[in-house]
Chain A
Amino acid sequence: MGTSRNVERRTILKAAGASAAVLGLAATTGCGGDGGTSADGTVTIRYAWWGGEPRAIAIKKTIALFEKKFPKIKVKPEFTDYEAFWEKFQTQASGGNPPDVFQNAVGFLRKYDKRGVLMDLKSQADSGNLNLKNFRNGVLANGQVDGKQVGIPVGANTMSLVVDLKAFKKAGVAPEFGWTWDDYFAALQTIQDKLKIAGDTGYFSIMYLYDLYLRQHGKAFFTDTALGFTEDDLTQWWEDGYKRVKSGLVADPKKIEQVKPKSGLSAGLAASEFTWDNFSIRYEGEGESDYGLAPIPTTDGKDTGQYLGSLMLSAFSGTKHPKEVAQFIDFMVHDPEVGAIMGYDRGILATTEQYDAFTPTEATNKGVKAYEEKVAAEGVLGKITPHPSGADVIEAAFLRIGGEVAQGKTKPSDAAKTLFSEAKAAFAG
């Protein structure tokens, strides 16, 4: 015992030291936010986005370009896929530590504006750090909420019908602007008869397509605070959809599920799929056929209900460096070199400077450009309808419940009821 006394004292000291170190470590990792200003006046801002690898590579190039032109500003990139992005963002933002600049979309604007996370960039525009001019086709309005400019569009896109060109040609179907829903479903029938495959991958659970359909009927998916349609409307929409699954015009949802994350179109399970036009690039990589863009079917032979949606850049209202953040966004949306690097990855480039700086060379991008120019020329582009806080949750619910209808697990009328009750909760949250 006598000899061990010294050892004991030493071990006590060691243990104390170790614990202090652990606690100290916990304390330092707990608060990483130092405001991002180093001794030499260099400012560091965090920039977060979602998307795949090609986007990450391109954005990193644009960051390098920015840091070269603004040596006093360092940009720290953070990126994940779409799902993980919003889960992470929610946690970061609630902890008061969201990225200074981040990619945003219309479904999230009101939600995070309501929670005070988004900076009104008008003030920065007024002080000359950010230029709000030269946005194409009035797309700047997409980033406005109640008179505030909380998002700056980087690109614009619109809904489209992506078709398997080979299949459509074989079946002898040629979609044209002004075709109607009846024409569309007749085309699906022809495809089924001639090629023995389904025509569509599951149009009726896509919220943004149903929005277009409603707009063709003078309604919209959302009003400022609620849903812009009735339970009966939706029941009808889903009943028709389910009927077409049963008859084989729309692909078997079980098969569509199996090939995920690949799309049913590129897996050859169906000949067409409604989606945003700039997404068409993925099909070339995934599938073995050739893919092209076709117009949205109409009700009256004219109005497609389309509008330009966009991905945007937003800034955190509590950022310590509002000026640098504004300069960064300005550079990202206006600099021609950035436009040339990004291409149409996030939709057709939103500002004229960037639009002019990029000439697409490969087929998909060319197709997207031609499609949007045609849509604009047709004069069918309307104004975007509001997306209230909770829109993101409702979009996920619409997809899920539509899927249950397709699988025959829920009756369309019950499904519509469920969506309405879930929407109520989402608006309240």
Chain B
Amino acid sequence: MTLVKEAPARPAGKRPAAAPAGRRGRRRENLAGYLFMSPWIAGFLLLTAGPMIASLYYAFTSYNLFTPPRWIGLDNFTTMFHDPRWQKSVEVTLKYVVVATPLKLLLALGVALLLAQKRRGEGLYRAAFYMPSLIGASVSVGFVWRALFSDDAIVDRTQKVFGIDVGGWIGNPDYVLYALVALSIWQFGAPMVIFLAGLKQVPQELYEAAEMDGAGPLRRFWNITLPMISPVLFFNVLLESIHAFQVFGSAYVVSNTYCGPADATLVYTCYLYQKGFKEAQMGFASAMAWTLVVAVALVTAVLFWSQKKWVHYEEAAK
């Protein structure tokens, strides 16, 4: 009996070595995986993790690149919080984030709503609206922006037609930041595509039912679309605000590499760059970098906490 019972457990030689070789095979497979990943891992350790740890250390030192870093404890942070230019850079950045992010998302959502409807040539429209996101980070666009918003350029002339005369935005400390905001809004393509994907997921029967109940377009948007795409909205808010906190290229190019006039476009990263690479205060710059990391982490945490109140996931319905 026992022999008979054992026989089916080992069906004659076909898979006899399966168990031990399987474990070895898996280990082998893992090894191959790690080997394939090793360039990335090496890159991560050498180019990301290493420098990050080094910069965390430098944040507590005085370091001018030439003489060895000198441990000064929290001095960089206390100097930083008392530095009027640092305060200005925080102010400018917050202003940028608070103005640019909602406007960009509003436009992205608006256009996504239009493009979600079936119409001829929709692919073309989507591509056209997405295009600026692809080239938006380039330096050349920064130059184009300068040309558009300068004195007596197209924006200025158009304004004058309506009787508004500010003499170009680029040189005016009160307006130049909004030129950057405009540049950010212009690149609404990426969040738009995500919104579009979200809108396509909303079940059509919800709208049909609502329509039968006599709900108008606004009501349908408010009571169906918005709750249904709230996870996507949350994702976009999160991504775009993190992105906005790190704005650099546009400020650097539009304002001739010095983030002015009168520090009007002195966004956080621009001041960090000046401290680090122009004034060689690497310790201070590192302290600034880590403060930004913490600040962005806090903002992210607050957003995640807030999602309980306004983001609706549809698990219960399924």
Interface residues of A (CB under 8 A from B): 1, 5, 8, 11-12, 15-16, 18-19, 22-23, 26, 83, 86-87, 90-91, 93-94, 115-117, 252-261, 393, 396, 400, 403-404, 407, 409-410, 418, 426, 429
Contact = CB atoms under 8 A, between A and B. Distances in A.
Contact of A426 (B32, B35, B66, B279): B279
A95 B279 CA distance: 16
B306 interface: no
Interface pairs A-B: 10 shortest CB-CB:
A257-B171, A94-B65, A15-B35, A258-B151, A254-B171, A115-B66, A409-B262, A19-B38, A22-B39, A404-B262
Contacts of B94: none
B29 A258 contact: no
B171 A429 contact: no
Contacts of A429: 64, 279-281
Counting chain B CB atoms within 10 Å of each CB, which of A91, A258, A409 scores highest?
A258
B277 A8 contact: no
B170 interface: yes
A254 B167 contact: yes
Given A91-B277, A254-B151, A258-B150, A23 B42 contact: yes
B173 interface: yes
Interface in B3-35: 21-22, 25, 28-29, 31-32, 35
B38 A15 contact: yes
Contacts of A90: 65, 277, 280
B36 interface: yes
B91 interface: no
B263 interface: yes
Contacts of A91: 65, 277
Given A87-B277, A254-B171, A429-B280, A410 B66 contact: no
A93 B66 CA distance: 8
A87 B168 CA distance: 31
Counting chain B CB atoms within 10 Å of each CB, which of A1, A12, A410 scores highest?
A12
Nearest to A115: B66
B140 interface: no
Given A1-B25, A254-B167, A254-B172, A400 B263 contact: yes
A323 B168 CA distance: 55
Nearest to B36: A15
Contacts of A115: 64, 66-67
A22 B35 CA distance: 12
Nearest to A84: B257
Contacts of A93: 65-66
